[in-house]
Every structure is written in structure tokens, then in C-alpha cells.
Amino acid sequence: EISSLENAGDADALLVWLEAILASETAVPPTPAEIEQRLGASSPAHLLDFRELSALYEAHRDNPEVVLKRQLWAKLLKTAFGSDFEDDSDAFINHTLLVLTAEIIAHAVLGIDVSAAGPVAAEDLVTGREFDEAQIHGVVEADFFDWLVAVPGGATFVRTLADRVSRFDWSGVEHDVLKHLYESIIVQEMRAKLGEYYTPDWLADRVVNATVTEPLSQRVLDPSCGSGTFVFHAARAYLDAADAAGLGIGEAVDGLTSHVLGMDIHPVAVTLARVTYLLAIGPERLRHSERPAISVPI
């Protein structure tokens, strides 16, 4: 048993609880509250996904590829955070789940059908073939966390997770929604131990408005970007200024990638920030025929 609900006569609560597993609702707005409720750490969907992913890992933890990617993941984080990092199986599983979710969202933002009926294979969702074909580089790539598709049952898990993500409408995101997912799944104690402090969207928006006064001529770098909150708002400021100046889609998107940049030492944060960058650009610009080949500068 991973979750239970006591009947208190609240029909809405029952529907929300069932919906987290059944995933029957579509076009759900990806607000922080909806993300937390449907994908967050206490949601039945996350509890089920974590349990199933843990079982897959335990069944195949001696697989040479799984062993190697776990070791590479631990080595990088140990180098980055020193003794504050603990090589823990639950952390590896949570990081895998976060990165897979972000990579699937990236495909959905690009207009790719990631539902169970969609045409994209699980392996392609985690290795980025669709992005190579779309000439968008530096977003979804082979990494520590694609070990899942190398083990029996892994592809099925990816498809189930993708179907859950597909019910959201990713066309009009106004926040760094992945930050809220990260903060929900990675407990505050662990984030504090690694020195991770995430800025609220309202504050990042205010800071960008106060400091980036000429977006088309100023260059913005967040050297510790986390999931990309400041990058998101700086990118939106640049694109709004480009629209006001009458720049075409191609020129605006091309200019953005040389004016708004980010970096981080945490591999999960980097993936989330890259997807956040895509969310800032938005599906309309990404799918436009004038959009040039781009490399996301995170």
C-alpha cells in the first residue's frame, strides 16, 4: 500500500486522489499547486512511481550499466559537494525520477505527443533523438539517469510516466514549475545540507525587472542557476523586449541564447534549468518555421 484515503464525505478530495493514478483529466494547467498536488512527493502518483522505480533499481542494481551510472553520478556529486553529499539509493532514484519527468516535459513543450498512444519510443524520450532532429541541442542527452531503459521493464515505466505528464497543458507556463517539483521531492534538510536555496518566482521577477533594464543589450548570467528561476524571468524579459522592438521569431530566439545564460554544478538542476529555458521560450516560438537551430546555454 502506498496511499490511502479515508471517506470523509468530500467528493472532490476523492476525485483528486483517484485522478493522480488514473490520469484521465487533460489540459491541466501546470501551476505550482497542480504540480504539487498531482506529481509532488505526497501525491499517490509519486508514491507509486517511486515504489516501482525502486523495485526496478533493486532488481537490476548489479547490472554493469546501472552500476557504472550510479558510480558516475556519485563521483560528480561528491566532487561538487564534498562530504555533505551522501551516496544514497533513495537520492539516486529521486534524481532519476526528476530528470525523467523534466525530459518528458521538454518533449511535450516541443509539441511531441508523449502520451501512451504517442509515437516516440521510451529510449528516444531519454536520449534526445527528437531534439537532434529538431536542431535543439543541450536539453535532452544521454546521462546518468537513462540506465532505466537498459533494464527489463524500464521502458514501460517511462511510458507510464510520460502518459501522466501528457495530461498537462505546457503551452502557457508562467513560473519555474520544475522548482516546485524539486522542492517537493528533495526534502528541505537535504537541500539545506547541499547549500540549495531556491528563490520564489515573485522575487526573481522583481529582481530581473529592477536590474535588467535594457534586455536586448545586457547579458545575464546566473552562475548558480538551480532549476532556472532567474533564467526563466530574464529570458521572458528579453523575449518581451524583442517583441516590442519588432524582432522576428528567428532573430529573437537566436539572440536570447547569447544574452541569457546559466550554470550549475548539480546535474539534476542543470537538466531542470534547461527545460525551464524551453518553457520560457514557449511552444509557439520553438515550433515556428523561422526558429533557427539553437543550443540551450545552461
pLDDT string in tens for the chain (298-residue length)? 878 888 888 888 888 778 777 767 788 898 888 888 888 888 888 999 999 999 999 999 999 999 999 999 999 999 988 888 889 999 999 999 999 999 999 999 999 999 888 889 999 999 999 999 999 999 999 899 999 999 999 999 999 999 889 989 988 788 788 998 888 888 777 777 777 788 989 999 999 999 999 999 999 999 999 999 999 999 999 999 999 999 999 999 999 999 999 999 999 999 999 999 999 999 999 999 999 999 999 9
Among left, alpha and beta (phi > 0; psi -120 to 50; other), residue 295 is beta
Per-residue confidence (pLDDT) for residue 32, from 0 to 100: 84
Q: Residue 253: what residue type?
A: V
Asked if residues 178 and 227 have their Cβ atoms less than 8 Å apart, the reply is yes
Rounded to two decimals, the pTM is: 0.90
Per-residue confidence (pLDDT) for residue 14, from 0 to 100: 84
Residues whose CB falls within 8 Å of the CB of residue 100, separated by 6 or more in sequence, listed in order:
125, 126, 145, 148, 158, 161
Helix (H) or strand (E) holding 88: none
d(CA 39, CA 180): 10
Residue with cell 546555454: 297
Per-residue confidence (pLDDT) for residue 195, from 0 to 100: 75
Q: Which of 189, 169, 184, 167 is nearest to 227 (CA)?
A: 184
Per-residue confidence (pLDDT) for residue 198, from 0 to 100: 81
Cell of 199: 528563490
Per-residue confidence (pLDDT) for residue 193, from 0 to 100: 76
For 114, half-sphere exposure in the C-beta direction (CA atoms, 13 angstrom radius) is: 32
